[in-house]
A = this chain, B = another copy of it.
Amino acid sequence: MTTDATGTGVTEQALASLRTTADPRLRELLTALVRHLHDFARETRLTQEEWEQAVAFLTATGQACTDTRQEFILLSDVLGLSMLVETLHGHHAPGATESTVLGPFHLTESPVRALGDDIDLVGGGQPCVVSGRVRSADGTPLPGARVDVWQADDQGFYDVQQPGVQPPGNGRGLFTADAEGRFWFRTCVPAAYPIPTDGPVGALLRATGRHPYRPAHIHFIATAEGHTPVTTHIFVAGGDYLDSDAVFAVKRSLVKDFAETDDPALAREFGVPNPFRHAGFDLVLERTP
């Protein structure tokens, strides 16, 4: 029971009520949550009206979620929380490929494809080859490593966003690295795109004067025996929004040149007509401890 005007008594009661939590990690998380939540309200002197608006916003966010839409993940993304959690637990070994957020579009299993296959099943965009090597941090190539790839098309849409327009599996492929750990595939250069803005998160972006765009990128998950998998993107160098990704997922080491080339030897090697764009990068994995 409390009579204090700063509410520290209420905070103490709320914290004390968590002491009976059986799971020690849950107790730790809820204790930190209540402390920060109460400090937030106290520092800002949150009003009853603002609290009501927050309740309405969170309710609308929950109610915007469906089987194919996760508005709370989107909220976490635009507040930088998703990228922070990713950063706290991601890859940091020197020389290993940096990780970044999974994002909400890894919804379907990527079709198994052969090295060199074209994942652009529609053929609308700028032809492009992505190639590289999967290797261990000490340089050892990793033959048989799996490289899961997914991307938006040249208009900025994923296949799952345009059923009936794009064939299922467009922009997706699951590749197996060759005997020297090499992988390569054909695709189109992806476009930047906006995250969905027709829900509460869109309203938040408008209220904060922020654009909803993500810079153009291709997603990867690389896995190899005896190594920690890495979930990452590569970003198209020189593209828009690299310094203002709506979800804060850009890391400098992941920005890659997609340079135009008309090298006849390269074109022959990859079996593409000249000129084409070429992005090269290695996926470097940490050995499992």
Q: Which residues does A use to contact B, with CB under 8 Å?
A: 1-7, 9-11, 13-14, 17-18, 20-23, 26-30, 32-34, 36-48, 50-51, 55, 58-63, 65, 70, 72-73, 76, 79-89, 92, 98, 207-210, 242-244, 248, 250-253, 255
CB of B209 within 8 A of CB of A84, answer: no
Please give me the residue from chain B that is nearest to A33 by CB atom: B40
Tell me, in angstroms, the Cα distance from A22 to B255 when the chains sit together.
32
Given contacts A42-B88, A51-B81, 6 further A-B contacts (CB under 8 A): A5-B92, A7-B88, A29-B46, A55-B72, A55-B76, A62-B72
Copies of this subunit:
2
Q: Are B2 and A37 in contact (CB under 8 A)?
A: no
Given the interface pairs A14-B79, A45-B88, the reply to whether A40 lies near B50 with Cβ below 8 Å is no
Residues of B within 8 A of A209 (CB): 20-22
B residues in contact with A17, CB < 8 Å: 80, 208, 210, 244, 248
A32–B55 touching, CB < 8 Å: no
Residue of B nearest to A65 (CB): B59
Known: A20-B210, A65-B63, A207-B21. A3 touches B253 (CB 8 A): yes
Q: Is the CB of B11 within 8 A of A80?
A: yes
**Smallest beta-carbon distance A105→chain B, Å:** 16
What CA separation (Å) do A209 and B19 show in the bound complex?
Answer: 8
Contact A62 B55 (CB under 8 A): no
Of the residues B29, B44, B76, contact of A28 by C-beta under 8 Å: B44
Query: Which residues of chain B are within 8 angstroms of A3 by Cβ–Cβ distance?
Result: 98, 251-253
Q: When chains A and B are docked, how far (Å) is the Cα of A65 from the Cα of B70?
A: 17
CA distance A288 to B1 in the complex (A): 27
